[in-house]
Amino acid sequence: MKCPYCGSTEDKVIDSRMSGEGLSIRRRRECLKCGRRFTTYEYVENSPLMVVKRDGTRKRFDREKIKTGIIKACEKRPVSMDRIEQIIEEIERKIQKKADREIKSTVIGNMVMEELYTLDEVAYVRFASVYRRFKDVSYFKKELQKFLE
């Protein structure tokens, strides 16, 4: 594994544990060159899962896109990276159980919104504003009304 700090390929595994109900292995590693620690994840590779976008195009499922969206929504919020990883693993597990090898992007977006709704109200509204393409303040009011009721 290549060190993200210095680029060395010499490291040692400090800790390994299963995460995501056994769907992945989390490994803590220490670079033997610079001494810094980093985390890697190992996943079982299944046949490729395709995501059907709103315009009908198909792209390979990429968990990093979900992670990027959630991180942006949770920016400057009291949400740990461990919790974000748990959410991503939960969503990925649901997708694997549900999908026939294709899944609509709207289904994934709704799963993310469900998780954020219970996690953090601000993160939920941030994600919803991008995902649902809010055009003006009235859309924000509708989403915020859900929390006020």
Q: Kindly state the average pLDDT of the residues 98-123.
A: 87
Whether residues 70 and 81 fall in one domain: yes
Whether residues 62 and 127 fall in one domain: yes
**CA–CA dist 112, 139 (Å, integer):** 19
Pick the closest to residue 63 from 87, 40, 36 (CA basis). 87
Whether residues 80 and 122 fall in one domain: yes
**pLDDT of 20:** 66
Distance set, CA 76 to CA 19, 71, 85, 125 (Å): 26, 9, 17, 14
Most confident stretch, 9-13, 45-49, 96-100, 130-134: 9-13
Whether residues 97 and 114 fall in one domain: yes
**CA–CA dist 116, 125 (Å, integer):** 9
**pLDDT of 5:** 96
Whether residues 22 and 54 fall in one domain: no
- Residue of 49 and 12 predicted with greater confidence: 12
Whether residues 55 and 94 fall in one domain: yes
Whether residues 54 and 75 fall in one domain: yes
Q: Kindly state the average pLDDT of the residues 27-45.
A: 91
pLDDT at 144 over 90: no
* Predicted confidence band of residue 34 (pLDDT cuts 50, 70, 90): very high
Whether residues 30 and 60 fall in one domain: no
**pLDDT of 43:** 79
**Domain count across the chain:** 2
Please tell me the pTM assigned to this model: 0.62
pLDDT at 99 over 90: no
Whether residues 88 and 114 fall in one domain: yes
**pLDDT of 74:** 93
**pLDDT of 44:** 74
Range of the domain at 6: 1-45
**In terms of DSSP bridges, do strands 102-104 and 50-52 run parallel, antiparallel, or are they unpaired?**
parallel
**pLDDT of 145:** 73
Whether residues 26 and 61 fall in one domain: no
Whether residues 18 and 69 fall in one domain: no
Whether residues 63 and 83 fall in one domain: yes
